[in-house]
Amino acid sequence: MFKDLDPLLHSQLRLAIMSLLISLESAEFTFIKEKTNSTAGNLSVQLDKLSEAGYLMIDKSFRAKKPLTTCRITKKGIKAFEEYVAVLKQYINK
Amino acid sequence: MFKDLDPLLHSQLRLAIMSLLISLESAEFTFIKEKTNSTAGNLSVQLDKLSEAGYLMIDKSFRAKKPLTTCRITKKGIKAFEEYVAVLKQYINK
DNA sequence: TAATTTGGTTTATTTTATAAACTAGTTTAC
DNA sequence: GTAAACTAGTTTATAAAATAAACCAAATTA
């Protein structure tokens, strides 16, 4: 009746991150932090989890001598997000 | 940008319970247990939480000498569910 | 009358989310 | 030039949540 919701995506912050990245394709740490209104610590942890699951790719470099973390959603991430949305609809539509 | 998701509803089992009750208006413990594929212990705990939040009403009686727990969604519960769905759409629609 | 089943509740454990503390390098103010 | 503060994070600790395991009472069955 109710299919399981991907626990990796069923988390407010991680879902917000994926929601951002699915339309932007690429975003910086500080940008995501602002848009999701999260703390750096929490964001860092959740980005790592998404990255370890292969849902996004994280690139660490430097810009103007400051660390620059850039995130990009993967095909796997897009698929997981779409599947999550499809399953979620079982719960909320009717 | 991203409004907070009601933490009480952003839980797979509690969301499934509410999803069932919003269309059924009333259901028995064992029925919900079957439909949500949950364990009795977990269901009992989550029903209590929803009940304490005023999202549903629980009636305990007996039938054929066996305990009978019946649940019914409240107006507050319906409103909370609808609001949750509305907020969720911010995350999943584009 | 002892074991099993039904319909749960309570308690304990594991997992998760989140916040607090910390780090490394940079810029600014004195 | 050095102490204080800022940027951009990471790591660790704590709080909260989900879940499972253990338990209970009454009834039924063997």
A33-60 residue pLDDT tens: 999 999 999 999 999 999 999 999 999 9
Q: What is the pLDDT of residue B43?
A: 97
Q: What is the pLDDT of residue A94?
A: 53
Using CA coordinates, name the residue in chain A closest to B24. Answer: A94
Q: Which of B10, B36, B91 sits opposite A19 (nearest CB)?
A: B91
Chain B residues within 8 A of A4 when measuring between CB atoms: 12
Q: What percent of chain B has pLDDT over 70?
A: 99
Spans in chain A with pLDDT lower than 70: 94
**Confidence band, pLDDT 50/70/90 cuts, at residue B81:** very high
A-facing residues of B in 19-38 (CB < 8 A) are 19, 23, 35-37
* Average pLDDT of chain B, as a whole number: 95
**Confidence band, pLDDT 50/70/90 cuts, at residue B17:** very high
- Among A3, A2, A16, A28, smallest CA distance to A81 is for A16
Chain A residues within 8 A of B86 when measuring between CB atoms: none
Q: Which residue is nearest to nucleotide D22 (CA to C1')?
A: B41
Dihedral angle computed from the Cα positions of residues A53, A6, B1 and B50, in that order, rounded to the nearest 10 degrees: -140
User: For residues B18 and B78, is the Cβ–Cβ distance under 8 A?
Assistant: no
SS3 A86: helix
Q: What is the DSSP string of B17-73?
A: HHHHHHHHSEEEHHHHHHHHT--HHHHHHHHHHHHHTTSEEEEEEEETTEEEEEEEE
Q: Classify residue A54 as left (phi > 0), alpha (psi -120 to 50) or beta.
A: left
Interchain contact, A1 vs B85, CB within 8 Å: no
Q: What is the pLDDT of residue B94?
A: 52
Chain B residues within 8 A of A36 when measuring between CB atoms: 1-2
